[in-house]
A and B are shown apart, each in its own frame.
Chain A
Amino acid sequence: MKKRRLVIRTIILLILGAAVAYTLYANFTKDDIKKVVVGEQAPDFVLVDLNGEEHRLSDYKGQGVFLNFWGTYCKPCEKEMPYMDNQYKQFKDKGVQTLAVNVGESELSVSKFADRHNLTFPIVIDKDGQVQTAYKIGALPATFMIDKDGKVVKYHTGQLTEEMIKELMEQVQP
């Protein structure tokens, strides 16, 4: 009888405690919830680059992808662009593709920007925001590293140094 009471009380308290613990945990991590989770498949997309060429993420299966979201008005994006370009030239033949997704600015702004910085990697424009919505893009720049199986390996917001870009690319090199 006494034992049963103890067991029942323990169970009830454990359930209540677990519920509270979960709520607290969820409350603290709620800002970290991302649409695209590391370790999961990156959402596929198709966008057209400045030369009119179509880029489909799933076509790069077997290669690593350096996927960067940026805008011309974003200073840190502008700073990391030359590094990206350097590393793109290094890695494009080693199986790591670079895709820079502009967050829906006018083609004029984007192409002038690309000319000014002599960017050689493919730049695509997400005109109607579909891809940004799918990747839940907030702050820029945002970089996703996708491996040869199309899985997200790493996610980074904020400016990257050339060293970091190199390391990231090495990570997804097939």
Chain B
Amino acid sequence: MKHVKCECGHVNPHGTILCEACGRVLQESEKEKQLVDMRYEGSARRSQTYNKTIVDKVWNFFSSVKVGVWLIVITLIASALGTIFPQEMYIPPIMPAAEYYEDQYGWIGKLYYDLGFHNLYSSWWYLVLIASIGISLVICSLDRVIPLWRALKAQRVSRHEGFLKRQRVFGVSEASNLDESYEKVKERLKAKRYNIREEDGNILAEKGRFSRWGPYVNHIGLIIFLIGGMLRFVPGMYIDEVLWVREGETKVIPETDGQYYLKNNKFILEVYDKDKDNQAFSEAIEEKGMVAKNYQSNVTLYKKKGETVAGQPPELEKVKDYPIKVNEPLKFEGYALYQVSYKLDELSKMTFTLGNKKSNESFGEVKIDLNDPKDRYDLGNGYAVEVVSYFPDFEFDDSGEPVTKSKVPNNPAFVFKMITPDKKEGEISFVAIQQTIEPFGDNEYKMNFSGIDTKNVSSITVRKDLTLWLIAFGGLIFMIGVAQGSYWNHRRIWIRRVNDEVWIAGHTNKNWHGLKREIQAVLEDTGIKEPEDQMQKEENKE
């Protein structure tokens, strides 16, 4: 490997622009410039100097900040595209997605669906984009942090004149009484928390170097965050299940290996009351009609005792009672149960009375549990009702036969056989909500609907996310890195004696205003002239 030996004796890696030690300009093209480019201290980024094998080429591709910025911009545009129409997960499940987009948004919607934008954020190419940003983060950081670290470590106190002259803040001053003012300057720099190094009467005052590591720290944070996101795909790390539980029902909690059970004691829905709640809300409530105040499921969490096989009635031990509300999930052993949805007033029981159509005389009441109806209800005195067929979620199918759409009693219907002392064979009647059909001619008896019992159903999301701590850790590191890089500045002031003159140069990675003010305060009344901002000088000339 070719090395570049500077006149000061320091050996620099190939491609170095400014000598790591003394700052002498090593590249001819750079000598033309009025000000030196201080990015990465003029150190050699290796990626830019070797380009031979495929591996090097791939490496160099990802090492380019230009590529990184493009990746960011493309991701940005892609993300925006995904918000034009709602993503598939947010559309109501009333029809297949393919039809929904066309139905709602016309041909643009269809195009949107055909391009796969309805599931953009989990598409392979979006994942590839994010992954490329991740790779770019790793390689860009590695390629820059090492040379930067070398250069900052190798820097010498005495800098080459050419280096000082080409700093943005630079000034030459003739000063008498130098030793005295030197002491003053050093003291003031120290008071401003500068680290001071001296060599042959030259000074390098430096502070806040650690802010230079900020970008790399935040990149590490981002990489950890991305690894956390990746772990989500590892089976068992992430659980997302929905559990519907009726009031009074006890159900096994999915993904807990049958170890935990949940009983829903009560579901509560509260709305704001314009008279009882805060008077300030009354106008808003009036305008909006109804505003929900609370969704809450009072549940009991049980743990199974001993070993049972699925299907066996388990022996349950109560763990705790808990009101699950929005924003207040029930947490246990890495699981969290959230209140996410509900269904009010699901039918649970229906009551009928058996009566004579003509006389209106009643012969007793039948209360049917819609989730577990009996096949015969005896009313005594020779009266009885048999359930011949039961359709919890009734509809007529294409051939006109009564069928059930699901097992949920949304629209119960029955075929009853009414047995009475005078009709021992029984009369058949088909009874659904608000309709009665007598398939075998006019009956004498009738099942009169007399009432319903309802129950609410809570929808609980079962969540376990073992990647959270890593994601949170990545976020924390990122924030530390960003703060470190944003809220601190790396400032350096070089003071060098050249014959009878004092040369002062200053550099900061940002906030030049602050640096200038600081130099001004340090040099006040020392007889040393304040250096000038060469950028402003140029501008004023224009």
The reply, when asked whether chain A contacts chain B directly with Cβ atoms under 8 A, is yes
A-side residues, CB < 8 A to B, are 1-2, 5-6, 9-10, 12-13, 16, 19-20, 22-24, 26-28, 30, 33, 43-47, 56, 58, 71-73, 103-109, 111-112, 124, 126, 128-131, 133-134, 136
Pick the contact of A23: B53, B230, B310 (CB < 8 A).
B230
B371–A106 contact, CB under 8 A? Answer: yes
Interface residues on B, range: 35 or more
B233–A16 contact, CB under 8 A? Answer: no
B252–A129 contact, CB under 8 A? Answer: yes
- CB-CB under 8 A from A43, the residues of chain B are 310
Complexed CA–CA distance, A45 and B235 (Å): 24
- CB-CB under 8 A from A71, the residues of chain B are 407
- CB-CB under 8 A from A126, the residues of chain B are 311
5 further interface pairs, Cβ-Cβ under 8 Å (given A20-B128, A20-B131): A20-B134, A23-B230, A26-B233, A45-B309, A106-B372
Q: Min CB distance, B239 to chain A, in Å? A: 11
A10–B122 contact, CB under 8 A? Answer: no
**Given A23-B131, A46-B312, A109-B392, are A130 and B258 also a contact pair (CB < 8 Å)?**
yes
Pick the contact of A27: B124, B254, B406 (CB < 8 A).
B124
Q: Min CB distance, B126 to chain A, in Å? A: 10
Give me 27 A-to-B residue pairs in the complex whose CB atoms sit less than 8 angstroms apart, sorted by A's number: A5-B50, A12-B139, A16-B134, A20-B135, A23-B131, A43-B310, A45-B309, A47-B311, A58-B309, A72-B407, A104-B407, A106-B371, A106-B392, A108-B372, A108-B373, A109-B390, A109-B392, A109-B404, A111-B375, A128-B250, A128-B251, A128-B252, A130-B252, A130-B258, A130-B310, A131-B311, A133-B258
Considering only CB atoms, which chain A residue lies closest to B46 in the complex?
A5
B373–A106 contact, CB under 8 A? Answer: yes
B407–A112 contact, CB under 8 A? Answer: no
- CB-CB under 8 A from A5, the residues of chain B are 46, 50
Complexed CA–CA distance, A129 and B371 (Å): 14
Complexed CA–CA distance, A13 and B406 (Å): 53
B300-331 Cβ-contact flags toward A at 8 Å (1 or 0): 00000000011110100000000000000000
Considering only CB atoms, which chain A residue lies closest to B393 in the complex?
A73
Q: Min CB distance, B89 to chain A, in Å? A: 14
Complexed CA–CA distance, A80 and B292 (Å): 47
Main secondary structure of the interface of B (DSSP, over half): mixed
B128–A134 contact, CB under 8 A? Answer: no
Q: Min CB distance, A60 to chain B, in Å? A: 13
Q: Min CB distance, B323 to chain A, in Å? A: 23
- CB-CB under 8 A from A128, the residues of chain B are 250-252
A134–B233 contact, CB under 8 A? Answer: no
Residue B58 at the chain A interface, CB threshold 8 Å = yes
Considering only CB atoms, which chain B residue lies closest to A135 in the complex?
B310
B372–A107 contact, CB under 8 A? Answer: yes
A106–B390 contact, CB under 8 A? Answer: yes
Residue B138 at the chain A interface, CB threshold 8 Å = yes
Considering only CB atoms, which chain B residue lies closest to A126 in the complex?
B311
- CB-CB under 8 A from A130, the residues of chain B are 252, 258, 310-311, 314
